[in-house]
Amino acid sequence: MPAPTRVASTAVSLSRTPVSSGAAEKKKKVSLGGPVIAPALRGAGAATGFDTTRPRADGSLLLGRRNGGPGEVTLSKTGELALDGKKGHAASIETARLIETGVSPFKHATDVQRSQLAEKLLGHLEEPASHKNSSSAVLNRSAAATLLLSVARTSGGETRDKAIGGYLKLLERETHLPFKTSMLVNLDAARLPLKKAQGALVEAVRDIVAPETPPYAKWFKAGDKKPHLEVRQYVMEEFWKGEIRGNKQRGMKVVSENADEVVMEGSLKDPKGGAPDTTVRLVMRKQDTDVLRDLDDPKVHLILYSGHAQLGGIVDSAVRSGPDAMRGDKFVGLFNCRGKQNLAQMKEKYPRVQVSATYSSSYADDDKHVLDELYSMIARRGDFTSLRKSLKQADMLQPKTNYVLPDDARQLALHDNDMDGLVDNSAIGPDRFFDPGSQKARGGARVFRPAPHAIDPQTLSGAKLDHAINYANTAFYYFAEENRAAPITYAKSDTIVPGGWFVSDTDEPVRITEKTRDGKKYYDVSVNSRFSDSSREVITSMVLYETQKHLCLKEGKFDAEDKLRALVLVAGYLDLHADFSDHIDEVLAGFQKKYGFGGPLLNYELMYAALKNDGDHGTATKKTVDWLKKRGVTVPA
C-alpha cells in the first residue's frame, strides 16, 4: 500500500473501436523458436534452397518451416494446408505457430488460395462444448482463428470479408473464456474495418470478456426486495485499525469481534431509490495469507485485500494455495501496490473472476476513497465507468487511472491467457496464437544446469516466464525509485516484456533484445528452453541477474557492486516467493556456482541477515552491499 513516491501510470491501450487498415503490418519479425524459413524472414540473399515467394511445379506454395518444428508447411493450389505432405489439423496448428513467431505465411498466396483456405477452415471445425471443452478441440479452433485473421490481414474484398465473417462467428460462439479473450485481443490489434453489425457483436463479446459491471444478475435475484451482499476483507496487521475505522465510517456496525476477526453488518442505500436497499455482512480478518480462500464459497460475493503487496508475494502465495476452482461469481479488489503483477496468474487459475488491481504504488487514503465509491456503485447498481467518474482526483495522491478495473483495456494487456510466456497484448505486440496444450507450467528442479532439447519451445508453458518478468518489473521499479545506483531510471521502469522461450545449443540462460515502439524502448526477455525443467525460482534468479547485467553494461560497466546488488535482488525475491528455507539454500548454492560468487556459502540465513540492512522493497542499498563485503562475499572478475 503506502509507497515513498507517487508515479503516473501508463500502459498499452487496446482500441475499442476497430478502424480501417489495408495490408499486413510492416514490423520487424522475430522468431521465438530460432531461424524460420518463411516469407517475412527470407532475406534477399538467403541461400536456403527454398523459395517461399513462387508456386512450385504442382501449384503449391511453401509457407515456412520452424527450426525445431515438425516439418514444412505448404498451401496447395486449391487452398489445402499440408504438414510434410499430410493434410489435417496438424498443418493448421503448425501454420499458426509460424504466425506466432511473427511470420505472415499467406503473404505470397493468391486470392483464390486464401479464399478456399478460409472456406475449408470453417467447414471442419467442432462446435464449442456447452460445458468443458477438450484441449484438442480448443487448439483446432484456435489455429483456425489465427489463420483466418492472418488471411483477413493480407487480403481485400470478398476474401477479407469472408475471413472476418468466419472469425467473428468463431468469436461469438466460443465458450472457452481464455480463448475468447485472446481472439478479442488479436482482433483489436489487427484493426480491421468492421461493419456496424459486426462492431456491435464485438462490443457484446467485450462485455463478456471485460464486463462493464459486477455480476449483479448472479448476486441479486430479479425482483428480490431484500438483496444481500456477502463480503470478506483480509487486512495486514499494520492497516487493521484504519480499515475497521473506514468500515465504521461507511455505516457498518460491529456485531462480533475478537483479536483477529471482526464481523460487521450494514446497508447500502441507493440515494435515488432506483435499487432496493442491500444488506451487507462483512467478515474482516487480520490476515495476509490465504487471502483468496473464499473463492470456492458460493455465498461470498466480494473479496478484498488491504495491505502491502510484498512485491507480489501475498497474492502469488494466495493463488497457489487457493481453491482449485471458483464457485459462484466473484469480484476481488486488491488494495495493494502494483496488483497488476499478479493479474495473469490470477486469471489463468480463475478465468471468470473479476479483479480490480493497481497499476503502480497505492496509498491508504486513495484505497479508502476507491472502496467507498465501490460500495456506492454497488448500492445503485452502477457500472465501472460511473465508479471512475465518481472518484475525485483532487482528493487522491495517485491518478485515478492507477486503479485498473475489470472493464479496463489494460487488464487484457496484462493477461497471458494461454500462459505461454507471451503476454496477450504486450507493448511490442500481441500473442497471435492461443495454445491450450502448453506443458510444464509449474514445478521444476532447483538447478542451474541446462538440459538437452526435448520439447518444441512453442508448446511449453510460459507460466514461469510470466512470473519472472512480472517480478523483475516490480523489482527494478522499486530499485529505480529508491536507489540511485539502479541501472535504469524510474521513468524508464516497467519496460521489461516477456519474449517466451528461445532455442539454443549453448548454455546462454537469458536473451535480452531491445525493441522500440512509439518512441519508447522495451526489453524483450526470453529464456533458453534448455532451462524449462528448472524451477521458477531458478528462472527468476537468472532473469534478475541477467537483466541487471544488461542494464549496467548499457551504462558502461558491470562492476563488483553491481553484481552484489544483483545478488541482493535475487535474495529478496527468494525470501518473498520461495516457500522453504532449504529450497532457498539450494537455489542460492546453484546461483553462487553458476555466477562465480566466492567467499562463504550463500544460504538463506546469510542472505536473510543481509536483507535486514535493506529497504522495505529489497532495493540493494549500499549498507547491504557493504555488509556482504564485510562477510567476505566476493564476485567473479
pLDDT, tens digit, 9 for 90 and up, residues 336-379:
999 999 998 999 899 999 999 999 999 999 999 999 999 999 99
The pLDDT, as a whole number, for residue 431 is 86
**Cα dist. 109→34, 63, 282 in Å?**
24, 9, 61
Burial class from Cβ neighbours inside 10 Å (0-12, 13-18, 19+) for residue 161 reads middle
CA 298 to chain centroid: 27
The pLDDT, as a whole number, for residue 438 is 60
Average pLDDT of the residues in 398-423: 85
The pLDDT, as a whole number, for residue 9 is 30
- Retrieve residue 620's grid coordinates: 540493494
The pLDDT, as a whole number, for residue 51 is 62
The pLDDT, as a whole number, for residue 463 is 86
Q: What is the percentage of the chain residues whose pLDDT exceeds 70?
A: 90
Report the distance separating Cα 556 and Cα 544, nearest Å. 18
**Cα dist. 537→223, 324, 465, 593, 628 in Å?**
51, 22, 10, 15, 22
The pLDDT, as a whole number, for residue 14 is 32
Report the distance separating Cα 81 and Cα 166, nearest Å. 18
Report the distance separating Cα 388 and Cα 217, nearest Å. 21
Amino acid at residue number 480: A
Tell me if 342 sits within 8 A of 275, measured CB to CB. no
Please, what is the average pLDDT of the chain? Answer: 88
Over the range 239-268, which residues count as b (16 or more CB within 10 Å of their CB) and which as e? Answer: bbebbbebbeebebeeeeeeeeebbbebeb
Average pLDDT of the residues in 585-606: 96
Collapsed DSSP state (helix, strand, coil) of residue 112: helix
Average pLDDT of the residues in 517-529: 92
pTM over 0.85: no
The pLDDT, as a whole number, for residue 626 is 95
The pLDDT, as a whole number, for residue 122 is 86
Residue written as grid cell 493480407? 154
**Cα dist. 40→104, 166, 312, 473, 487 in Å?**
6, 25, 39, 31, 35
Report the distance separating Cα 283 and Cα 474, nearest Å. 31
Average pLDDT of the residues in 594-614: 95
Element containing residue 305 per DSSP (H, E): strand 302-306
Sheet strand arrangement including 261-268: 253-257, 261-268, 278-286, 228-235, 302-306, 331-335, 354-358, 403-404
Residues 6+ apart with CB under 8 A from 246: 368, 371, 372
Average pLDDT of the residues in 520-532: 93
**Cα dist. 413→190, 265, 524 in Å?**
15, 37, 15
Residues 6+ apart with CB under 8 A from 72: 62, 64, 65, 83, 84
Residues 6+ apart with CB under 8 A from 243: 233, 235, 284, 306
**Cα dist. 67→38, 101, 345, 532, 592 in Å?**
11, 11, 30, 18, 33
Average pLDDT of the residues in 318-347: 95
Query: For strand 261-268 and strand 278-286, is the pairing parallel, antiparallel, or unpaired?
Result: antiparallel
277: nearest Cα among 288, 266, 290: 266
Minimum mean pLDDT among 39-48, 386-395, 581-590, 599-608: which range?
39-48
Tell me if 233 sits within 8 A of 284, measured CB to CB. yes
Report the distance separating Cα 52 and Cα 269, nearest Å. 66
The pLDDT, as a whole number, for residue 503 is 86
Note the pLDDT tens digit of each residue in 441-470: 456 889 899 988 767 778 888 888 999 999
pLDDT confidence tier of residue 617, bands split at 50, 70 and 90: low
> Taking the CB of residue 196, how many other CB atoms lie within 10 A of it?
7
pLDDT confidence tier of residue 112, bands split at 50, 70 and 90: very high
Tell me if 418 sits within 8 A of 435, measured CB to CB. yes
Report the distance separating Cα 212 and Cα 227, nearest Å. 21
Burial class from Cβ neighbours inside 10 Å (0-12, 13-18, 19+) for residue 392 reads exposed
439: which strand partners? 460
Indicate if the pLDDT at residue 33 is higher than 60: no
Collapsed DSSP state (helix, strand, coil) of residue 231: strand
Report the distance separating Cα 315 and Cα 289, nearest Å. 8
